[in-house]
Chain A
Amino acid sequence: EPEVTQTPSHQVTQMGQEVILRCVPISNHLYFYWYRQILGQKVEFLVSFYNNEISEKSEIFDDQFSVERPDGSNFTLKIRSTKLEDSAMYFCASSEWGRGGTDTQYFGPGTRLTVL
């Protein structure tokens, strides 16, 4: 069964450094998402992406964050200058349609980001 994959599984970085989290969505899906989950807290929406541009973003997704689909398969989340509070599990998800549809989002296994 197709699945969303994410790399790395765990990323440790120093405060102020840039990190790039990578995701490979399911191949025929058109909508891509990033979520984060701080340990012990709720899943929080960051951004959705469709047709090579951001579709929706939350208040969390400020200028420090950016997303990109550099090729036909990868979807990346970049954090320019990491802060301690960026430490969280970051989940990528994809869906076949997305916006306005009753569509299922399929989640990857997550990348645990630890900012020291």
Chain B
Amino acid sequence: SQKIEQNSEALNIQEGKTATLTCNYTNYSPAYLQWYRQDPGRGPVFLLLIRENEKEKRKERLKVTFDTTLKQSLFHITASQPADSATYLCALFMDSNYQLIWGAGTKLIIKP
């Protein structure tokens, strides 16, 4: 079955620097991959989606890359701010069963 790996250790980044989070998956590539933000006790909030035939997507300070050869997506936040501190989840949409499969998330801490 499909497995998704995100760095389980918290990522500490200095304010103003670029934060890079990794999402690796096993097995076959998903139809598309999504990144969400989750704050404690809250529901996930959609950030970006990238399709399997796309290499890169951008939205303001956010950038997502998708490498189906490496089976990896990278999520970048440039000019990071303390307000960016949250857990970031990647989720893969599997068109085999029309379900979103989720990673465990990486906690990002931006220090002033």
Residues of A bordering B, CB below 8 Å: 4, 41-45, 48, 55-56, 58, 89, 91, 93, 98-100, 102, 104-110, 112
Contacts and interface: CB of A to CB of B under 8 A. Distances in A.
B44 interface: yes
Interface residues of B, number: 23
Interface in B35-53: 41-46, 49, 51
A106 B46 contact: yes
Contacts of A112: 41
A109 B95 contact: no
B44 A91 contact: yes
B42 A43 contact: no
Nearest to B105: A42
A104 B49 contact: yes
B98 A42 contact: no
27 contacts: A4-B43, A42-B102, A42-B105, A43-B89, A43-B91, A45-B100, A45-B101, A45-B102, A48-B99, A56-B99, A58-B99, A89-B41, A91-B43, A93-B43, A98-B98, A102-B31, A102-B49, A102-B51, A102-B93, A104-B46, A107-B43, A107-B45, A107-B46, A108-B43, A109-B43, A110-B42, A112-B41
Interface in B79-102: 89, 91, 93, 95, 97-102
Contacts of B44: 43, 91, 107
A58 B32 CA distance: 19
